[in-house]
Amino acid sequence: MASAPKPALLQRILMRKSVEQVQRESETSQLKRTLGPWNLVFLGIGCIIGAGIFVRTGNAAALHAGPAVLISFLIAGIVCALAGLCYAELSSTLPVSGSAYTYSYTTIGEFAAWIMGGLLLLEYGLAASVVAVGWSGYMVSLLADLSIVIPPELTGPYGHALIRDGKPVLDAMGNPVTTLFNLPAFLVCFALAALLVIGVSESAKVNNIIVAIKTSVIIAFIVIVGWYVIQHFDTLKANWDPFIPEATGEKGEFGWGGILRAASIVFFAYIGFEAVSTAGQEAKNPKRDMPIGIIGSLLVCTILYILVSIVLTLMVNYKMLNVPDPVAVAVDALGPEWSWFAKTIKIGAIIGLTSVILVLMYGQTRIFYTMARDGLLPRVFSTVHPKFKTPWINTILVGLITASAAAFFDINTLGDMTSVGTLAAFGIVCLSVIWLRTTHPEIPRGFRVPLYPVLPAVGIIACFALIFTVETRVLIFFGWYAIAAIVLYFVYGMRNSQLQKGEAQLD
């Protein structure tokens, strides 16, 4: 009997998991609808606050927007809200965990899912590296307060001049100190990878404590440093002159072009809000509660972020904030009598950032695990340790990738690559809503994006518009990364896909 002819190439790359198949794969998890709107708002705040506000705000202000970085936070928050509504619709329509990768697989098809998997490596894997660099900055600053000095050459990326207080650090001979390797960032990534191999089940109580610490640190910073700023406003208001620094003529350096460029940077500060959308199957009333949870958490965090940027850029001149630990720089500027507060802020930031690195690395390992089960990555990445019951091989690989990136690359390059990957992923999520509405209008939806198709379309345009504000070298890297991902799909992914072979997903 002759074998059936293979489908055409276009048919193969658009091959989708059916909604029924995705539902069957998730049937082992029967979740209770216990979360109300306030639960979802607090979940969102806990996931959003962390990396960006502690780490990238200073870079955005110092290099691109100046004090007007607060406008950048507002723009980034609006773009996130557009993507967030699309996440809410997909999560209420497709009852599955597995992030945007699974949404793409079920709506647009396998090729889009593969591309999304590559983008999520930038969103989760490299984001963990960015946070690790920030963690290193706060740890080095705290250790210096305790008179423990790490050799400066081991506190930054390869080949970069070490900057402190806006000036190059000089050695005994008067030459600029050039960093070789970010040792603290490397070590924290590998330590957390080892924890993930052993198995860290994050209890609700521990998570709530960490969220409380992170939020308390931000509020304490706003209140105490804000009070100091008000007391000394006549002197410090000079740091806001000018509020929007004049454009230099270079792409994205100050002016309104710089504000948009900074928006793509501080966009990093909102990564994590999509965790609210993954709770769609546990919301009591998803049609009402999901938009409240997503928009509510984004609104609260945007207000907090704008207040932090106001206090930060008044307390310290924006030119001095191109550091991985801008909040530490601001509290140190209060003077030696506030050293206790500075130490408290740094300890709180370190605890909060540690949890963020752990969650991001965890998310990346589970994406690799899901892709390996689908046959798109080598089956070894779905290997579960016989004792610890964790995907240990892919966890070690994630640890190696994040640790190496954090050790050798500077925070601005890593952060830009993360933002580009995340913006592209969010754009595809917005497209997925339009695609699913067109191809499967009959599927019940717990929540529908309002003003369809205007808001999803504006979301796509806004995400890709912000992508093109980043440096050309990052866009070139992203282009080569995308080409490599496409080649790898045709060389390996399509040939080994479980769906292409007509096989069930691996147990």
What is the per-residue pLDDT across 278-296, written as a single tens digit (0 to 9) for each? Answer: 665 566 777 778 788 888 8
pLDDT of residue 13: 75
Q: What is d(CA 345, CA 35) in angstroms, rounded to the nearest whole number?
A: 31
pLDDT of residue 478: 92
3-state secondary structure (DSSP) of residue 40 = helix
3-state secondary structure (DSSP) of residue 389 = coil
Percent of all residues in the chain with a pLDDT value above 70, rounded to a whole number: 87
8 or 367, greater pLDDT: 367
Question: Among 343, 128, 346, 314, which residue's Cα sits nearest to residue 226?
Answer: 314
Average pLDDT over residues 192-204: 74
Least confident of 5-14, 85-94, 103-112, 490-499: 5-14
Q: What is d(CA 140, CA 147) in angstroms, rounded to the nearest whole number?
A: 10
Average pLDDT over residues 426-435: 91
User: Confidence class of residue 4 from pLDDT cuts 50, 70 and 90?
Assistant: very low
Q: What is d(CA 269, CA 223) in angstroms, rounded to the nearest whole number?
A: 20
pLDDT of residue 58: 87
Q: What is d(CA 99, CA 353) in angstroms, rounded to the nearest whole number?
A: 22
Are 277 and 295 contacting, i.e. CB atoms less than 8 angstroms apart? no
Q: What is d(CA 162, CA 323) in angstroms, rounded to the nearest whole number?
A: 10
User: Confidence class of residue 475 from pLDDT cuts 50, 70 and 90?
Assistant: very high
3-state secondary structure (DSSP) of residue 179 = strand
| Cα separations in angstroms, 450 against 89, 287, 291, 299, 427 | 10, 11, 10, 18, 17
Max CA distance (Å), the chain = 89
Question: Among 130, 133, 125, 135, which residue's Cα sits nearest to residue 182?
Answer: 133
pLDDT of residue 33: 63
Are 207 and 188 contacting, i.e. CB atoms less than 8 angstroms apart? no
3-state secondary structure (DSSP) of residue 369 = helix
pLDDT of residue 200: 62
Q: What six digits make up the tokens of 173?
A: 């001979």
Query: What's the chain's length in residues?
Result: 507
pLDDT at 414 over 50: yes
Q: What six digits make up the tokens of 376?
A: 């798109």
pLDDT of residue 124: 85
Q: Where are the alpha helices (DSSP H) in 271-373?
A: 274-277, 286-315, 326-332, 339-373
Q: What is d(CA 257, CA 245) in angstroms, rounded to the nearest whole number?
A: 11
DSSP 67-123: GGHHHHHHHHHHHHHHHHHHHHHHHHHS---SHHHHHHHHHT-HHHHHHHHHHHIII
Q: What six digits make up the tokens of 209?
A: 């404590």
Average pLDDT over residues 33-39: 75
169 or 454, greater pLDDT: 454
Q: What is d(CA 475, CA 450) in angstroms, rounded to the nearest whole number?
A: 32
User: Confidence class of residue 313 from pLDDT cuts 50, 70 and 90?
Assistant: very high
Average pLDDT of the chain, as a whole number = 84
Average pLDDT over residues 180-203: 84
User: Confidence class of residue 431 from pLDDT cuts 50, 70 and 90?
Assistant: very high
Q: How many CB atoms lie within 10 A of CB 144?
A: 15
**DSSP H or E run through 160:** strand 160-161
Query: Candidates 1.10.10.10, 1.20.1740.10, 3.40.50.150, 3.40.50.360; correct CATH number of 40-501?
Result: 1.20.1740.10
- SS3 labels along 458-502: HHHHHHHHHHCCCCHHHHHHHHHHHHHHHHHHHHHHHHHCHHHHC
In the chain, what are the domain boundaries?
A: 40-501
Q: Which residues pair with 35 in a beta bridge?
A: 283
Q: What is d(CA 304, CA 467) in angstroms, rounded to the nearest whole number?
A: 25
pLDDT of residue 289: 80
User: Confidence class of residue 19 from pLDDT cuts 50, 70 and 90?
Assistant: low
pLDDT of residue 256: 92
Burial 360-385 (b: 16+ CB within 10 A, else e): bbbbbbbbbbbbbbbbbbeeebbeee
User: Confidence class of residue 463 from pLDDT cuts 50, 70 and 90?
Assistant: very high
Q: How many CA atoms lie within 13 A of 366 on its CB side?
A: 15
pLDDT at 25 over 80: no
Are 94 and 19 contacting, i.e. CB atoms less than 8 angstroms apart? yes
Average pLDDT over residues 130-154: 89
Amino acid at 244: I
